């Protein structure tokens, strides 16, 4: 499942967006899914193919340098390693107790002989060596957990794998402190076990480094004829479906976690045009003669940064606004704000209320927001005006009449009216309104629309110049595809 914005982003360079939360692929913008936490404790892809440095792709930061001379080979996915006499030590990682679930994953191929040796684990070399490891023994896979007094619990596969073929291994231990808690999956299938022993009773914690190829920092017990790839260590029990996904993803496209372990980086993405497009200009905002007396109306004006503004999905509380007491002051504020450029969202918001009204209750206490933008066909000669109205408590206000008249560039007002037929809509229960407006080449440059917002006790107008056909809006309506 992906969440995609249903709009043709034919050229991502024309837009500005947070590329850590949104990515544009094949002309569509989609949300980026991010893991809830580190993917694993350790993930060596072994895709370096050269040198001695190995990068941890789990997100846990366990980058290391190989001890000895690495022998890079063709792996199951890209490149892999035949360790020979080389080893990898990872400090401060994988110190799991017997009651801790964990999973050890890798691809392996035995190039010759039986491949005997310890593949990986956290355990001292000799003596009372509590810890765990996975080994190859007579071409079979063995998982072993020891306490500090030589008592052990171990699992060993019945089948052997000295066939010079890549196999996928996941050793899973569920933390139950029983032999029933261990499973060895070979090529995504739970293996039949040759023998199972249970005896671990004490702690398995130890101070040894986690090691790939051998144990305890020594050159002993090395699986010298074994090639390894895609080594992953998890402090959790992998499910069958996750193991299937990892095995079937042997092409290199698999993820460490299933979709349920991811979250989207944002649930309210914003994509805007970049600065090469002109912002629209608000000419003026006036109180008509039928409005309440000017000294009874106080205007709070802001563009793209009000106390309360509608981000396309919800009313948002923010800061940054200028308060004016007269129409002249509000127009001066508008002209000052019109110099703002992208990536500030285009559109404007006007918040006004009566000094004598009841704050948050009076119909005079409303916020008007609108912006002009193209529909889903940017080349069409039709654009849409959309907006929202709320009171100063960010509560939607319905039944406010919004009308628009096309006016000439030479003189605004009724004498400059191009058409007497006005579009008219009424705000819905969410305070939203939207209307389609014609914007064709026959309109004189500089012509525009006169908007009227009419409610109980208010008569207000806003004028707008004609703007370029490519306009803007914040795209945060998402379509679940």
Supply the CATH number for residue 189's domain. 2.60.120.200
Q: How does the average pLDDT of the chain come out, rounded?
A: 69
| Shared domain check, 99 and 212 | yes
Together in a domain, 306 and 355: yes
Residue 466's pLDDT is what? 43
Q: Report whether 58 contacts 41 (CB < 8 A).
A: yes
Which tokens belong to 246? 């990892």
Whether 420 and 378 map to the same domain: the answer is yes
The verdict on residue 432 lying in a domain is yes
Other CB atoms within 10 Å distance of the CB of residue 102: 22
Identify whether 337 is preceded by a cis peptide bond (ω within 30 of 0): no
Note the pLDDT of residue 127.
58
Are 334 and 454 in a shared domain?
A: yes
122-163 pLDDT tens trace: 998 765 678 999 999 999 999 999 888 878 899 999 999 999
CATH classification of the domain holding 410: 2.60.40.10
Evaluate whether residue 354 is within a structural domain: yes
Q: What's the domain range around 390?
A: 272-474
Question: Could you tell me if residue 196 is inside a domain?
Answer: yes
Place of tokens 């600065």: 275
- pLDDT of res. 369: 56
Q: Please tell me whether residues 186 and 279 are part of one structural domain.
A: no
Does residue 247 fall inside a structural domain? Answer: yes
Mean pLDDT, the chain cut into blocks of 10 residues (481 residues total): 44 67 69 67 94 91 93 94 91 90 95 87 79 93 89 92 94 91 95 84 89 84 90 91 81 50 61 41 44 40 42 51 55 49 38 41 48 38 62 67 67 42 71 68 58 60 45 33 23
Whether residues 337 and 189 share a domain: the answer is no
Q: Give a three-class secondary structure readout of 31-56.
A: ECEEECCCCCCEEECCCCCCCCEECE
Verify that 178 and 293 share a domain, yes or no. Answer: no
Three-state DSSP state, 330: helix
The answer on 315 and 186 residing in a single domain is no
* Residue with token string 């050793």: 171
User: d(Cα 52, Cα 46) in Å, to the nearest integer?
Assistant: 10
**Same domain flag for 171 and 82:** yes
Residues facing 367 on adjacent strands: 351, 390
3-state DSSP call for residue 465?
strand
Domain boundary among 230, 259, 288: 259
pTM as predicted: 0.50
On whether residue 370 sits in a domain, the answer given is yes
307 and 221 housed in the same domain: no
End of a domain among 224, 259, 294? 259
Whole-number pLDDT of residue 129: 75
- Supply angle C-alpha 226, 65, 105, rounded to 5: 45
| Residues 50 and 78 placed together within one structural domain of the fold | yes
Q: What is the pLDDT of residue 455?
A: 66
Domain count across the chain: 2
Cβ proximity of 156 and 246 under 8 Å: no
Instruction: Select from 215, 233, 259 the last residue of a domain.
Output: 259
> How much is the pLDDT for 114?
79
Q: Do the domain assignments include residue 73?
A: yes
8 within domain boundaries: no
């Amino acid at each position: 499942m992906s969440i995609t914005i249903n709009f043709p982003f034919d050229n991502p360079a024309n837009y500005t967006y947070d590329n850590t939360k949104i990515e544009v692929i094949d002309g569509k913008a989609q949300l980026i899914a991010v893991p809830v936490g580190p993917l694993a404790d350790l993930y060596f892809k072994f895709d370096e193919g050269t040198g001695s440095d190995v990068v941890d792709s789990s997100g846990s930061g366990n980058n290391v340098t190989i001890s000895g001379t690495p022998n890079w080979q063709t792996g199951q996915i890209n490149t892999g390693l035949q360790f020979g006499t080389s080893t990898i030590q990872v400090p401060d990682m994988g110190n799991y107790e017997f009651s801790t679930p964990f999973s050890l994953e890798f691809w392996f191929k035995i190039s010759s002989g039986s491949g005997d040796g310890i593949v990986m684990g956290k355990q001292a070399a000799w003596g009372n060596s509590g810890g765990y490891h996975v080994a190859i023994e007579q071409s079979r896979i063995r998982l072993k957990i020891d306490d500090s007094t030589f008592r052990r619990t171990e699992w060993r596969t019945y089948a052997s794998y000295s066939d010079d073929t890549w196999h996928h291994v996941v050793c899973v231990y569920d933390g139950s402190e029983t032999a029933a808690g261990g499973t060895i999956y070979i090529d995504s299938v739970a293996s039949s076990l040759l023998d199972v022993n249970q005896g671990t009773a004490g702690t398995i914690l130890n101070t040894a480094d986690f090691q790939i190829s051998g144990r305890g920092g020594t050159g002993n017990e090395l699986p010298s004829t074994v090639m390894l790839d895609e080594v992953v260590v998890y402090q959790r029990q992998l499910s069958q479906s996750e193991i299937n996904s990892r095995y079937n993803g042997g092409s290199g496209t698999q993820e460490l976690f299933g979709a349920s372990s991811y979250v989207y980086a944002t649930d309210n993405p914003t994509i805007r045009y970049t600065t090469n497009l002109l912002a629209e200009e608000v000419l003026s905002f006036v109180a008509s003669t039928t409005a309440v007396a000017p000294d009874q109306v106080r205007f709070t004006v802001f563009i793209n940064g009000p106390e309360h503004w509608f981000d396309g999905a919800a009313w948002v509380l923010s800061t940054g606004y200028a308060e004016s007491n007269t129409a002249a002051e509000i127009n001066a504020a508008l002209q000052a704000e019109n110099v703002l450029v992208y990536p500030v969202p285009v559109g404007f918001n006007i918040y006004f209320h009566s000094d004598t009204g009841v704050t948050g209750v009076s119909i005079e206490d409303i916020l008007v927001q609108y912006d002009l933008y193209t529909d889903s066909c940017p080349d069409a000669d039709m654009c849409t005006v959309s907006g929202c109205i709320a009171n100063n408590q960010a509560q939607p206000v319905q039944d406010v009449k919004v009308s628009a008249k096309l006016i000439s560039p030479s003189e605004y007002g009724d004498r400059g009216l191009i058409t007497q037929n006005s579009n008219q809509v009424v705000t819905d229960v969410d305070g939203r309104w939207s209307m389609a407006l014609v914007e064709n080449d026959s309109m004189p440059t500089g012509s525009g629309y006169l908007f009227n917002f009419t409610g109980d006790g208010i008569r207000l107008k806003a004028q707008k110049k004609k703007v370029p056909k490519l306009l803007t809006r914040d795209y945060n309506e998402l379509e679940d595809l």
